Structure 1
Amino acid sequence: MRLSRYFLPVLKETPSEAQIASHRLMLRAGMIKQSSAGIYSWLPLGFKVLRKLENIVHEEQVRAGHVPMLMPTLQSADLWRESGRYDDYGQEMLRITDRHDRDMLYGPTNEELITDIFRSHVGSYKDLPLTLYHIQWKFRDEVRPRFGVMRGREFFMKDGYNFDLTKEDALHAYNRHLVSYLRTYERMGLQAIPMRADGGPIGGDYTHEFLVLADTGESEVFYDSAVTDLSFGDREIDYDDHAQCQSILEEFTSKYARTDETHDEAKFSEVPEDRRRVARGIEVGQIFYFGTKYSEAMNAMVQGPDGKKVPVHMGSHGIGVSRLIGAIIEASHDDKGIIWPEGVTPFHCGIVNLKQGDEEADAACDALYKSLTALGLDPLYDDRKERAGGKFATMDLIGLPWRITVGPRGLKNGVVELTSRRTGESEELSPEEAVKRIAEIYAGL
C-alpha cells in the first residue's frame, strides 16, 4: 500500500480522554475513532490488525477440530428466561423491545442460543463430541466504559461451545481448548498465563482465565515467576490425544498463578519467596466447563449407548479478539509508539523514501515495493512529499517491525538501511539483500 493513497489519520496530540498507553496509541495511530462512550469505529489500520488476529484465532480453532459458524447479535429473551439468566445477568445486558413487543437482547454471550441450536439438530451420542464456535460482535452495557478497546461496550469476540456425552470427554475438550489458546497467543507474540479463575455469571467448577501481564491490567494477579519461563514453541500437537493435552495443561497450570478472586495466600506462601510475584494482568480469554447447567435447564438431551436420554456436558471458551489489540500494545510499546510483533503487524515492513521526487530514489523504492509484493508480503510505502523526520515519526508511531530507508546518499553506495523497530538497530544492505532478509523473517509465520 502506498501511504499517499491510504487513510491513516494520525494525531500529533494525545486526546485528553485516553488514560492508558493502548488507548492513546490507537487513537494517535489512526486505528480507531470513538463513536460514543465505549463504542468505536475501526479505521483501516485498526481493522487490518483486527482481521489478522481473527484469522489466527480461526486457524487455531480449526486446527483443534472445532467447527466455525455464525450466530446473530440479537437474541430472543425467551431463551434466556428458559435458562434462568434473563433476570440474573444484570444491567450490563442491553434489553430491547421490537415493533411487535417481543423482548430481545443484544447478546453478551451465546450459551442459550447455541444450546437451542444443538437440541434442535442433535439427538444421539453418535454425533458427539462436537465443538462449535463463532467470532462476532457483542455488547455489554458497562456502567463506566474506559481504556479504549480494553473495556468498551461493543467488542469482537470468539466464543466456542463443546458438547460431550460424559464429564471425562468434556474435560478433554477443556484441555484441548487450553492447549489451542496457548498456541494462539504465542502466534500473536503474547505470553498469556492461564490462571485459576471464578466462573462468574457463566458458571462452572473448572475455569481458567488467560492474562497478559501489564501495569494497566484490571486484575491483581499472584504467580510463581517460573510460569513466565514456559513456552509452547513449535511442538506438534495431536488434539485427539487426551494424554498429550492433559500433560500440556499440567505443565502450564501446575505452577501457582491466580487472579485476586481465587487467590489462596496459604498456597502462595508455599512458592519459594524469590519466585513470588504480585502484578497486574489483562484478561484476554477464558475457558469454562459447566457440566449440564444449560443442557438440563433447556432440555438438550441425547440418546446414550444404552438408549436412555441424558443431558450433554458442556463448556464454553472465549477470546476477546478486539481486546487483544489493546493487550498487545500494552505489552509492546515505547515512548515513540506501538511495536507490533511480526505475527500481527498490519504491514510487514515500511519503506521510507528520504527524497521523494528524486528519480533514483523513487525508482529504488518502487522496485523494493514491487519485489516485496511479488513475494506475497505487504509493505507500506511512505511516498508522501513529507520531511524525513515526519516520515520516521509516523513509522515509529504505527509500529511496523521493520523499516527500509532509501536515500540518494546510500544508493550511491548501492545500499539501503534496514532498521528493527524493537531494537532500533540498523544495517546497510543492498536492496536485494533487504528484500531477502524481510522474506526470511516472515517465512515461518
Structure 2
Amino acid sequence: MRMSKMVGQRIKETPRDASTASHIYLIRGGYVRPVSAGIYSLLPLAKRITTKIEKIIREEMNKIEGQEVLMPVVLPQELWEESGRAQTVGPELLKFKDRNGKDMLLGMTHEEAICHLTRTELTSYKQLPVMLYQIQTKYRDEARPRAGLIRVREFTMKDGYSFHVNQEDLQQYYTKAHDAYENIYHRMGMPNVVSIESDSGMMGGSISHEFMALADCGEDTLFISPDGSYKANREVAYSKLNYKKEALLPIEKVHTPGTKTIDDLAQFLNIDASDTCKAVFYRDSSGSLVFVNIRGDLEVNEAKLKKALQSPELSFATDEEILAIGAVPGYASLYNIDKSKCRIVLDYSAAESTNLVVGANETDYHLKNFNYTRDSGCSDVAIVTDIATVREGDPCPLTGEPLLLRRGIEVGNIFQLGTKYSEPMKVNYLDQNGKSHPMVMGCYGIGVGRSMASVIEQSHDDYGPIWPMSIAPFQVHICALNIKKDGIREAAEKLYQDLLSKGIEVLYDDRGEKAGFMFNDADLIGVPLRVVISPKTLEENQIEFKTRDGKVNERVSLDDVLTRIVSEIDVRMQELEAIH
C-alpha cells in the first residue's frame, strides 16, 4: 500500500474526549472515526487489524472443532420471552417494533438465537458435543460509552456456544476452550492477559471465567496473589481473613448517643471497626426485606449477595421498612427482631467473630459482646456465606500472602451455562433409550474491537502504538527520504516490489514529506519493522533498518535487506505461535 493512496488522515492534536492511550491513538492514527456516542467506523488500518484478529480466532475455534455460522442481528422479542430474559435484562437491550407492529430487538448476545437454530438441527446424543460460533455485530445500548472501542454500543464479537449430553462433557470441552483462548491472546501479542474467576451476571450458569488484559485504564478490579496462583474479579474474589475468637462475654447494653455510623461508634467506644457489626437493609427482586450483617470494617459485595439470594436486582430499604421488623435505623441488629418478616444474610465475618458491638434496636444504644450463635435467635433461618468485598492487602485464600489489586479490561469470557437456556427453550436431545433431555450448554465470547484497543493499552509509547507482528496492519514500513534525489525513488520502488513478491505486507511512504513529518506518521501507524532509505545511506549501498519497539537499529546492505526483513518477520511470528 502506498501512503499517497491510503485513506485515513493522521491527526496532530489529542481529541478532547479521549483519555486512554488506545482512544487517543486510534483517532490520531486514522484507524477509527466516531459516528455517534459509542459507535465507530473502522478505516482501512483498523480493518486490516481486526481481520487478522478474526483470522486468529477462527483458526483457534476450528482447532477445537468449532463450526462457523452467522445469525441475524435483528431478532424477534418472542425468543427472549421464551428464555425469560426479555423482561429481566435492563434498558441496554434495545427493543423496537417493526412496520407490522411485531416486537423486535437488536441482539446484544445470541443465546436465544443459537437455541432457536439448534433445537431443529441437533436431536440425538450421537450428534453431541457440538460447538457453533459466529463473528457478528452486536448492539448494547450503553448509558455511558467510554474509552473509544473499550466500551461501545455497537461492536463486533465472536460468540460461540457448545452443546453437550452432560456436565462432565461440558467441563472437558470448557478446558479446551480455555486453552484456545490463551492461544488467541498469545498469538495476538497480548502477554498480560489473565484468566480469572468471575460472576456470570445476566448470562447465568454456575462457572465462568473472564480474560482480563491488565491495564491501568481497565474498568474491572482484579485481585491476584503475588505468585499468580489465585486470580479473581472483585465480584467473586474472597480472602482468608482472621476472625476474632475469644471466650464469650456477657452481653452488655451501653449508651452511645449520636453514633449511627461505624466510624462514630468505633471512635466513641475507642475500639476498632473490626470489633463491630454493620447492618445493611435491602429489598430483593421479590420485594422481600433483606437484613444483611457484616463486620464493621468490611463492605457488602452486592454481586455475591445477589447470588446468595438468587435475586437479580437489589435496592436499599426505607427507614419505614426497617422499623416494621423491630429494627431501628442506625442502631439495628438481629437482637429481638421479627425474623419472620425478613430474609437474613450474614457474612462469615459477622457469624464467626466473637464479642462484637451491634445495635440495640434502640436509638442511641448499642450492645457489647454480641455473639451470633448465642444471641441472634435466627441461626435456623439465616444464610451464612461470603458476601464481603475483598480489599488490597487482604490475605490470599490459597497462600495467605497479601492480595494485589490490579485493573483489567475484559477482552473475553467463557461460561458454563448448564441448562439455563436449553430447558425453557426446549433444546433437547434423545439418549440411547429414546428419552429426551435438555442439552447442557457452554458459551464463549471475545470482543474483536476491544481486543485491538487492549493491545494498544499494553503496547505503546509516547508516540503511538507498537503493533505485534501477528496483527499489525502492515509488516514493513518503507520511509523514502528526499524521494526526488537521484536513486531514492528507484531503490524504494524496487524494495517495495521485492517485498510484495515475497508476500510481505508493506506500507510505502511515497509522499515526499519531510523526515520529521514522515516519522511521526510512522510512529502513529506503529508498523513493527521500518526501513529508511535516504541519500546518505544509499551512498554506502545501505538502508537503515529499525523496529518500532526499539530493539533493533542497524545499517543493512541493500543486497541483504530482503533476507534480513524476512528473517525478522519469521522470528517475531514464531514468538507468537500457539502455546498449547
SS at match of 1:386: coil
Q: Which residue of 1 aligns with 2:194?
A: 193
How do 1:350-389 and structure 2 match up within 5 A? 350-389=477-516
Counterpart residue number, 2:224: 223
The 5 Å alignment of 1:323-334 reads 323-334=450-461
Cα displacement (A) at 1:272: 5.3
Query: Deviations 1:402-443 (Å, cap 9, x if unpaired)?
Result: 100001111111110111111264100012422212212333
Task: Supply the distance in 1 between the matched residues of 2:112 and 2:201 (Cα, whole angstroms).
Answer: 16
What is the CA deviation profile of residues 42-90 of structure 1, one whole-angstrom value per residue up to 9, with x for unaligned ones?
1111111111111111111111210011111111100000000001111
Matches of residues 59-138 of structure 1 in structure 2 within 5 Å?
59-138=59-138
1:422 to 549, 568, 575: 549
Determine the structure 2 residue equivalent to 1:282.
409
1:20-419 equivalences in 2 (<5 Å): 20-191=20-191, 192-227=193-228, 255-266=229-240, 268-270=395-397, 276-419=403-546
Largest Rg, 1 or 2: 2
Shift in alpha-carbon separation, 1:310–1:270, aligned structure 2, 3 A: closer
User: Is 1:431 the equivalent of 2:558?
Assistant: yes
Q: 1:149 aligns to what SS in structure 2? A: coil
Native 8 Å contact 1:106 1:138 kept in 2: yes
Describe the SS at the equivalent of 1:156: strand
- Aligned partners of 2:180, 2:402: CA distance in 1, in Å? 27
Question: C-alpha separation between the residues in 2 aligned to 1:4 and 1:269?
Answer: 56
Normalising to structure 1: TM-score of the pair? 0.92
Shift of residue 342 of structure 1? 1.0
1:2 aligns to 2:9 (yes or no):
no
Q: Which amino acid letter does the alignment assign opposite residue 227 of structure 2?
A: A
| Inter-partner Cα distance in structure 2 for 1:431 and 1:305 | 69
Deviation at 1:275, TM superposition (A): 7.6
Residue aligning to 2:12: 12
Aligned-pair identity (%): 40
- The CA distance in 2 between the partners of 1:270 and 1:430, in whole Å, is 58
- Report the count of equivalent residues: 418
The amino acid that maps onto 2:438 is P
Deviation at 1:96, TM superposition (A): 1.4
Cα pair 2:225 2:401 within 8 Å, conserved: no
Contact 2:75–2:106 (8 Å) recurs in 1:
yes
**Partner AA of 1:96 in structure 2:** F
Q: Distance in 2 between matches of 1:225 and 1:443?
A: 34
Q: Give the secondary-structure state (helix, strand or coil) at the position aligned to 2:421.
A: helix
Q: Please name the residue that 1:252 is paired with.
A: none
Instruction: Give the corresponding residue for 1:233.
Output: none
Instruction: Kindly provide the amino acid, as one letter, of the partner of residue 101 in structure 1.
Output: G
Higher helix share: 1
TM-score scaled by length of structure 2: 0.71
Uncovered stretches (5+) of structure 1, i.e. residues with no partner: 228-254
The aligned amino acid for 2:138 is K
**Structure 2 CA distance for aligned equivalents of residues 388 and 97 of structure 1:** 56
Shift of residue 271 of structure 1?
A: 5.5
- Please give the per-residue CA displacement for 1:229-254, whole angstroms capped at 9, x wherever unaligned: xxxxxxxxxxxxxxxxxxxxxxxxxx
How big is each residue's C-alpha offset from its partner over 1:151-172, in whole Å with a ceiling of 9 and x where there is no partner?
0100110000000111111111
Q: Residue type of the partner of 1:128? A: L
1:330-387 CA-partner distances (Å, limit 9, x unpaired):
0011101111011110000100001111231111111111111111111100011210
- Mapped to 1, the partners of 2:540 and 2:399 lie a distance apart of 57
The 10-residue stretch of structure 1 (267-276 or 104-113) with the greater mean CA deviation from structure 2: 267-276
Q: Is the 8 A contact 2:529 2:545 kept in 1?
A: yes
Is the contact between residue 480 and residue 512 of structure 2 (CA under 8 Å) also seen in structure 1?
no
- The one-letter code sitting in structure 1 at the alignment partner of 2:154 is E
Rounded to whole Å, the distance in 1 between the matches of 2:204 and 2:154 is 22
1: CA distance, partners of 2:38 / 2:397: 41
CA distance in 1, matches of 2:409, 2:34: 22
Partner of 2:202, secondary structure, is coil
Q: 1:308 to 1:274 in 2, by over 3 A?
A: closer
Secondary structure, in 3 states, of the residue corresponding to 1:58? helix
Task: Output one character per residue of 1:11-50: Cα deviation in whole Å (capped at 9) or x when no partner.
Answer: 0001101121110110000000000000001111111111
Tell whether the 8 Å contact from 1:226 to 1:275 is kept in structure 2 after alignment.
no
- Aligned AA for 1:423? G
AA aligned to 2:555 is: E
| Letter matched to residue 197 of structure 1 | S
Distance 2:542 2:400 in 1: 53
Q: 1:325 to 1:275 in 2, by over 3 A?
A: farther
- Answer whether contact 2:481 2:512 (CA < 8 A) is retained: no
Structure 2 distance, partners of 1:205, 1:78, is 25
CA contact (8 A) 2:225 2:396 kept: no
Equivalent position SS for 1:295: coil
Determine the C-alpha separation between the residues in 1 that align with 2:140 and 2:79. Answer: 18
| Alpha-carbon separation, structure 2, partners of 1:14 and 1:140 | 27
Q: Report the Cα distance in structure 2 between the residues aligned to 1:69 and 1:225, rounded to whole angstroms.
A: 42
For the 8 Å contact 2:211–2:412, the answer to whether it is kept is: yes
Alpha carbons of structure 1 residues 225 and 346: separation in structure 2 relative to 1, 3 Å: farther
Task: Tell me the distance in 2 between the aligned counterparts of 1:122 and 1:274.
Answer: 49
**Cα offset, 1:274, TM superposition:** 7.0
**1:359 partner SS:** coil
Q: CA deviation at 1:307?
A: 1.6
Letter in 1 for 2:470: G
